[in-house]
Each structure stands twice: as C-alpha cells, then as structure tokens.
Amino acid sequence: MSETLLSSRNLAFELYEVLDAEALTQRERFADHNRETFDAAIATARGIAEELFAPHNRKNDEHEPQYVNGAAELIPEVAPALKAFHEAGFLNATRDFEHGGMQLPNLLSQACFAHFQSANCATSSYSMLTMGVANLIEAFGSDEQKQRFLQPI
C-alpha cells in the first residue's frame, strides 16, 4: 500500500514501541484484540482514506457545500467515501461489540481516524460530528432521545 497519507513505519513505532498499544489487550474490554486486529483496522482505514477520501480533497475546497431548496448539496464523491467509512464500522469503532462497534481502544480508533483526517479533513468532519452528537445524546439525552436518535445515527 502506498504511503501518501501517514508513514506506516512511524505510526507502528509510535503505537507499539512508544505507547505500547498491545498492552491494552491485557484489559478485559480489549481481550478479543491483538496487534493483528489493530493493524487490520489501520490498514482498512488507510485503504478507504487513500481510495475514497484523498482524491476529492481539493475538489471539496473548491466546491463548498451549498444549501439549496432546503437541502445541503455536496460534491458527489462525499457520499461513497462516507458510506465506506460507515460500512467498515469506523463510526462505532470504540463502541461495544453488542452495540455494533469494533470495541477498539481509543488510541487505535484515533490512529485510524488520523488517516481520514489527513486524507480529507472536510469529508471526515461529517462523521466526526456525527460521533460527537451520538456521544452527547448518549451521555446527556433522555431515554426517549436515546431511543429515537442513537440507532439511526
């Protein structure tokens, strides 16, 4: 895989030599993971970011979203990029398995997100904002709001 976004070598050094990410697998919550699952998530993020996010980075800047006839209009490349992000499970990367998440440690989730952000900050922000809204509702929403909004998000 190419190295157009982040250096795999540098990221692996930071994760495994400096921050000892593998030690997280000793915690009960992350016991189903190992370096291979961490690396697979990172490789998936890198692939999606390079193939679907990076190519329209400049076009995103040149054609800002517009509000037309009551709806937001985005460049067409945004939808397949976000669809791939969501289908790969990155929207729920840190959430429990039983809630559709990958149950990744935040450290690894952020390593994955770094690829999307470096590829296309504008497109990645849509999903990052969605995660923020979900976290806010989960932490402070009423039971009715959680029931109504969390699953669709």
CATH number at residue 58: 1.10.540.10
Identify the pLDDT of residue 91: 93
pLDDT higher than 50, residue 1: no
- Planar angle of CA 130, 116, 64, nearest 5 degrees: 70
What's the token pair of residue 29? 């919550």
The count of domains in the chain is 1
Q: Is 128 part of a structural domain of the chain? A: yes
Q: What is the pLDDT of residues 66-117, one digit of tens each?
A: 999 999 999 999 999 999 999 999 999 999 999 889 999 999 999 999 999 9
Q: Can you say whether the dihedral through the CA atoms of 15, 18, 19, 25 is positive or negative?
A: positive
Q: How far is residue 21's CA from residue 49's CA, in Å, rounded to a whole number? A: 22
Identify the pLDDT of residue 21: 98
Q: Is 3 part of a structural domain of the chain? A: no
Q: Is 1 part of a structural domain of the chain? A: no
Give residue 87's domain range: 8-149
Q: Is 31 part of a structural domain of the chain? A: yes
Q: Which residues contact 102 (CB under 8 A, 6 or more apart)?
A: 41, 89, 90, 92, 93, 94, 95, 109
Identify the pLDDT of residue 2: 55
Q: Is 56 part of a structural domain of the chain? A: yes
Identify the pLDDT of residue 153: 80
Q: What is the pLDDT of residues 22-81, one digit of tens each?
A: 999 999 999 999 999 999 999 999 999 999 999 999 999 999 999 999 999 999 999 999
Q: How far is residue 51's CA from residue 116's CA, in Å, rounded to a whole number? A: 11
Q: Between 78-87 and 35-48, two packed helices, what is the crossing angle to 10 degrees?
A: 170
